[in-house]
Amino acid sequence: MRLTPRSSLSLATLALVAGTLTACGGSSDPEAAPDDASTDDFCAVYKDISTDGDQNDLDAAKKAADRLAEVGTPEDMPDDARKAFEDMISLVQGADSEKDLEEAFADGSTDAGSGLGALGNYLFTTCADELGLPSDLPTTIPSDLPSDLASGLPSDMPTDPEAMQSYLDEQEKELDDMLASMSADAS
């Protein structure tokens, strides 16, 4: 699965809300984060972070991550979720800018990316009440989902915002030409 955040700032928000930005600033060792936190304390920190002010900048994300790393994870957290927790700490510690975070996730190949599903699943399952989430969210992705886009959908659409604007301008001109042609034919 390829994780491509629209911006590094939205990555920080998504990560905090989804329980994937569990990082620590400074020089703390990610593996030293406690692994015996109470579930109540763990979930309370996530709730506080999700309702605190601006989560859309790196400094705020690092401060929130400090709180998460200080509390640590509950003992029953699965190993893959804990590994993602530790990898995220390392990732954010190494980030000098929001762009660093975006680039780390853009290709979906980071170590942290491989466990994000497990970490998010644990958070949503364990902290649903505290975060105001429905308790009946699915915990697995159906295996029978189609892997290809339906035919007929444009496959040549650019992903770069500037290229997208140019593409849309071309489409608008093409539509205007088609409408003018149809009007001329109808007359």
DSSP assignment of the chain, as one string? Answer: -----SSHHHHHHHHHHHT------TT--GGGS-S-B-HHHHHHHHHHHHHSS--SSHHHHHHHHHHHHHH--BTTS-HHHHHHHHHHHHHHHH-SSHHHHHHHHHTS-SHHHHHHHHHHHHHHHHSHHHHT--TT--SS--TTS-SSPPTTS-S----SHHHHHHHHHHHHHHHHHHHHHHHHHH-
- % residues pLDDT > 70 (the chain): 65
Task: Give the least confident one: 34-38, 64-68, 102-106, 179-183.
Answer: 102-106
- Residue pLDDT, tens place only, 52-85: 655 557 777 777 777 888 889 999 999 998 988 8
Does the pLDDT value for residue 22 go beyond 70?
A: no
Tokens in use for 136?
A: 């009946």
Q: 145 near 117, Cβ under 8 Å? A: no
More confident residue, 55 or 185: 185
Lowest mean pLDDT among 34-38, 75-79, 97-101, 139-143: 139-143
CA distance 115 to 93: 18
- pLDDT of 1 reads 38
Q: Which residue has the higher pLDDT, 156 or 169?
A: 169
Which carries the bigger pLDDT value, residue 33 or residue 22?
A: 33
24 has pLDDT over 50? no
Share of the chain above pLDDT 90, in %: 9
Backbone phi and psi for residue 140, each to the nearest 5 degrees, phi listed first: -130, 155
